[in-house]
Amino acid sequence: MPAPLRIVLTDEEERTLSELRIAQSVPYRTCDRAHMLLLNAQGWNVPAIAQIFGCHEHTVRATLRRWENEGLGGLWEAPGRGAKPKWHPSDLEYLTDCLDQETRTYTSVQLAQKLKQERLVDLSSDRLRRLLKKKDIGGSALGTAIDANKTPSKKR
């Protein structure tokens, strides 16, 4: 059975953790970690804290150890391991400026090539189309098509 972990907080640390626990701009996991530390400092044991938060005891112990080793900075998430974004919002702003300034029209394939040549951002045309659609950028605005260019309907 592992030895009980107990942390001792100064008044300033306790005040900081209390404020972190109720802060709206802090990620919820960070708030939970601050609450775990406060409970442990008040005398709660690791299994009881784990039961309150519905997590494993190892999670609570890891939080306590991170506090001991890293202090306040240990409460936040470490950078992720996944793939990093290939584009930035400024790339989409660049494309919207190009679409607004130039009179020609582009396909998504042409926009992807333009982005690759001028900004060194390699996105597939499908991904780019989804991003533009999500941001409500590009395409013909409703009501701008000329009636003469529309395909006649088969209905009579």
Mean pLDDT in residue range 127-143: 70
pLDDT of residue 78: 80
Output 105 or 58, whichever has higher pLDDT.
58
Q: What is the pLDDT of residues 41-99, one digit of tens each?
A: 999 999 999 999 999 999 999 999 999 999 998 899 888 877 877 888 888 888 888 88
According to the model, what pLDDT value does residue 137 have? Answer: 64
Sequence-separated (6 or more) residues with CB below 8 Å from residue 29: 77
Q: Higher-confidence residue: 72 or 135?
A: 72
Residues 64-77 as b or e (16 or more Cβ within 10 Å = b): bebbeeeeeebbee
Model pLDDT, residue 64 = 95
104 pLDDT tier (thresholds 50, 70, 90): confident
What is residue 102's predicted lDDT score, i.e. its pLDDT? 84
Query: Does 143 have pLDDT greater than 70?
Result: no
**107 pLDDT exceeds 90?**
no
**Domain layout of the chain by residue ranges:** 11-75, 89-138
Tell me the pTM. Answer: 0.54
Residues 129 and 105: their CA atoms lie apart, in Å, by 14
